[in-house]
């Protein structure tokens, strides 16, 4: 892969760490900030909603900028937001800082996905996206466990100080390794790009992304209390257990990319089915420690095996507005995160921690139904077009 993709991986690593590390620190942060566990979970939802709002706005505003300049500026937003998180004295300021940090997220991955696919052969596009997202998975293998340990030992503020330091490193890598192209600015108008992303199949792609990741985050947001209160692990065990989740992410992301390069629809429906089976395991077998360890790794694998096919589906159906569509799909990932965190919190308030897995399963099944119906509808439209073409000739 070109060096530019590895530069994107560094930025993705920082963004992934700041997004996911809060899950391992949720009980500690709730206690320190004087709020309930479900209220602390809203820090996840707030970040995700910030991505959902910021991604389309910043993508349109930066659509005529060179991609390199846009990426460097976005990492500047990331650095400033994490600095404010590190300095935050209370829940309100922390929430505002998290939202500010999130503005860089969607547009960075949106521009990065388009850039990554432009640097490789056509049959490697999903794999290029997967490679960039490997930074996100490495965040869960290295950044999140280390950040969780750091926060548990020195306080959660120290975690955000460490994440802030990733920003300048990512900016330097982007400056040195991302190529500058004079003709890369978008040529289409904002109105045309908006019209493209409002196509039914593009909207279905965004809905699938929301449902797919909501199914993951309804459980993963509360993984720390699930492991300690249901499975019976100590708080100190949470950080190394998250290494298993991160290892699953890396494997799932790579497999999902190669699978999507071969058959996009099969990869999408297959990964959602696999996720559903893992969620059934979470609902029935989390009391058994060794099985719980396997399920945590499988949650990472199946959850991130969906990422390359979901991202490629959005890009394929919005080829005339790839940057905006890609950014909106990243926003949809985070809207799914917010929906999942909220749904999991509601489940906890009404039925306890054990109900989060069944809530997640119902969301994932809804995603499978939408994916299946959409693929059949798309196939029927393609067949109809071919038939009309044959009649015309």
264 HSE (CA, 13 A, CB side): 20
- pLDDT band for 381, please (50, 70, 90 cuts): low
CA distance 39 to 188: 42
Which range, 133-142, 278-287, 319-328, 369-378, is most confident?
278-287
- CATH number for the domain spanning 83: value is 1.20.1250.20
Domain span including residue 8: 3-180+187-392
Q: What is the pLDDT of residues 347-363, one digit of tens each?
A: 888 888 888 999 999 99
User: 168-172, 197-201, 304-308 — which one is most confidently predicted on average?
Assistant: 168-172
Per-residue model confidence as pLDDT tens digits over 226-251: 999 999 888 888 878 888 888 888 88
Instruction: Please tell me the distance from the alpha carbon of residue 392 to that of residue 292, in angstroms, as a whole number.
Output: 59
Nearest 10 degrees: Cα torsion 354, 355, 356, 357: 80
State residue 359's pLDDT score.
Answer: 92
Average pLDDT of 19-36? Answer: 85
Backbone angles phi, psi at 219, to 5 degrees: -100, -50
CA–CA separation, 103 and 101 (whole Å) = 6
Query: 380 exposed, middle or buried (CB, 10 Å; 0-12, 13-18, 19+)?
Result: exposed
Burial class (CB in 10 A: 0-12, 13-18, 19+), 189: exposed
How does the average pLDDT of the chain come out, rounded?
83
- The answer to whether the CB of 366 falls within 8 A of the CB of 270 is no
Give percent above pLDDT 70 in the chain.
93
Question: CA–CA separation, 110 vs 10, rounded Å?
Answer: 15
Alpha carbon of 180 to those of 62, 65, 224: distances in Å?
15, 11, 43
* DSSP summary character for residue 353: G
Q: What is residue 239's predicted lDDT score, i.e. its pLDDT?
A: 78
On the question of pLDDT at 312 being above 60, the answer is yes
Domain count, the chain: 1
Question: Residue 77: which residues within 8 A CB-CB, separation 6 or more?
Answer: 100, 101, 103, 104
Percent of the chain with pLDDT over 90: 23
- Report how far apart, in Å, the C-alpha atoms of 282 and of each of 232, 246, 363 are: 14, 17, 14
Mean pLDDT, range 359-369, rounded to an integer: 92
The model's confidence at residue 168, banded by pLDDT at 50, 70 and 90, is very high
> Running DSSP on this structure, what letter comes out for residue 124?
G
Q: CA dihedral in degrees (204, 205, 207, 212; nearest 10)?
A: 140
For residue 383 the two structure tokens come to 């067949």
Q: How many CB atoms lie within 10 A of CB 91?
A: 18
CA 81/CA 65 separation, integer angstroms: 22
User: pLDDT digits over 57-68, tens only?
Assistant: 888 787 778 888
25 pLDDT more than 50: yes
Q: Give the residue with greater pLDDT, 369 vs 315.
A: 369
Name the packing angle between helices 3-24 and 91-118 (round to 10°).
150
Burial of 87 (0-12, 13-18, 19+ CB in 10 A): middle
Q: Does the pLDDT value for residue 188 go beyond 70?
A: no
| Cα gap 145→65, rounded to integer Å | 36
Per-residue pLDDT reduced to its tens digit, 91-102: 999 999 998 898
Q: Which of 136-145, 183-192, 256-265, 290-299 has the lowest mean pLDDT?
A: 183-192
Task: Please state which of the ranges 174-183, 228-237, 251-260, 342-351 shows the lowest mean pLDDT.
Answer: 174-183
Higher local confidence (pLDDT), 130 or 100: 100
The CA distance from 320 to 222, in Å, is: 39
């Amino acid at each position: 892969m070109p060096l530019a993709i590895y530069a994107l991986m560094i930025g993705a690593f920082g963004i992934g760490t700041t997004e996911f590390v809060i899950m391992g620190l949720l009980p500690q942060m709730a206690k320190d900030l004087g709020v309930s566990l479900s209220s602390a979970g809203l820090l996840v939802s707030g970040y995700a909603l910030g991505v959902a709002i910021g991604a389309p706005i910043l993508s349109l505003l930066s659509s005529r900028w060179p991609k390199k300049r846009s990426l460097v500026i976005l990492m500047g937003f990331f650095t400033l937001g994490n600095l404010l998180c590190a300095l935050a004295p209370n829940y309100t300021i922390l929430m505002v800082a998290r939202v500010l940090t999130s503005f860089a997220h969607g547009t960075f991955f949106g521009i990065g996905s388009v850039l990554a696919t432009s640097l490789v052969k056509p049959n490697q596009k999903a794999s290029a996206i997967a490679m960039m997202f490997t930074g996100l998975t490495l965040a869960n293998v290295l950044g999140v466990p280390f950040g969780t340990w750091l926060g548990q030992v020195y306080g959660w503020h120290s975690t955000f100080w460490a994440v802030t330091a990733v920003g300048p490193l990512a900016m330097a890598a982007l400056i040195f390794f991302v190529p500058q192209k004079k003709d890369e600015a978008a040529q289409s108008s904002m109105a045309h790009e908006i019209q493209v992303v409002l196509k039914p199949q593009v909207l279905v792609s965004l809905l699938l992304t929301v449902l797919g990741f909501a199914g993951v985050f309804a459980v993963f947001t509360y993984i720390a209390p699930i492991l300690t209160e249901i499975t019976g692990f100590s708080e100190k065990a949470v950080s190394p257990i998250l290494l298993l989740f991160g290892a699953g992410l890396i494997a799932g992301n790579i497999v999902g990319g190669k699978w999507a390069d071969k058959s996009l629809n099969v990869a999408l429906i297959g990964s959602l089915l696999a996720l559903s089976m893992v969620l059934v395991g979470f609902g029935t077998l989390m009391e058994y420690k060794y099985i719980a360890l396997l399920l945590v790794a499988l949650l990472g694998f199946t959850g991130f095996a969906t990422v390359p096919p979901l991202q490629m589906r959005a890009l394929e159906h919005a080829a005339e507005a790839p940057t905006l569509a890609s950014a909106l799909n990243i926003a949809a990932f985070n809207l799914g995160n917010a929906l999942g965190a909220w749904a999991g919190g509601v489940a906890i308030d009404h039925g306890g921690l054990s109900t989060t897995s069944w809530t997640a399963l119902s969301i994932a099944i809804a995603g499978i139904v939408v994916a299946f119906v959409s693929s059949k509808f798309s196939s029927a439209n393609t067949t109809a077009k071919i038939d009309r073409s044959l009649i015309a000739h």
